[in-house]
Amino acid sequence: MSLHVRLAALAACLVCLSAVPVQPARANEALAPVLQQAVPTIEVRDLQTLIKEKAFFFLLDVRQPEEFAQGHIEGAVLMPLGGLPDSYQRIPKGVKLVVYCRSGHRSAKAVSFLRDHGYDKAVSLSGGYTAWSGAQ
């Protein structure tokens, strides 16, 4: 097939494709509500109550070490999200597990992963450390 014929075929394909209506990609908008619905959360005021009442729970920070160093919730254990698949077995099972990050996106991923691996009491802190520090 000559170059001229291939170019003509390519041009015809492009014309056909341009006639197909395409919706703009809204992956982040579509994914955010799904994550919020699929992953159980805890509000800052409820975490404050757990701490005040000295309830037994495990507090997991899945941010990066530099974020943790800038500020964290007292008693939190740092386990960055990227390393979670290799280290999650160190987290006790059967206890309430509160997971947080900066805003709630990474902790939602962590909670989803942990629940898939038998941590049925894992919840994500709604609004993350940003919400926590804003309420203090």
pLDDT in tens, 1-44: 444 433 344 334 333 333 333 333 333 333 344 344 489 999 99
Separation in Å, CA 44 to CA 21, 28, 31, 73, 105: 44, 24, 23, 11, 15
Q: How confident is the model at residue 77 (pLDDT cuts 50, 70, 90)?
A: very high
Alpha carbon distance 81, 35 (integer Å): 16
| pLDDT above 90: residue 70 | yes
The sign of the dihedral angle between the CA atoms of 61, 67, 69, 70 is: negative
From 39, 54, 9, select the one nearest 106 (Cα to Cα): 39
Q: What per-residue string of b and e applies to 102-123 under the rule 16 or more CB within 10 Å gives b?
A: bebbbbbbbbebbbeeebeebb
| pLDDT above 80: residue 115 | yes
Architecture of the domain whose range is 35-135: 3-Layer(aba) Sandwich (3.40)
Q: Residue for token digits 């993350």?
A: 128
* Average pLDDT score over residue span 79-99: 96
Return mean pLDDT, the chain.
Answer: 80
- The DSSP letter of residue 25 is P
**Where do the domains of the chain lie?**
35-135
Tell me the whole-structure pTM to 2 decimals: 0.73
Q: How confident is the model at residue 136 (pLDDT cuts 50, 70, 90)?
A: confident
| pLDDT above 50: residue 72 | yes
Please list the active-site residues: 101
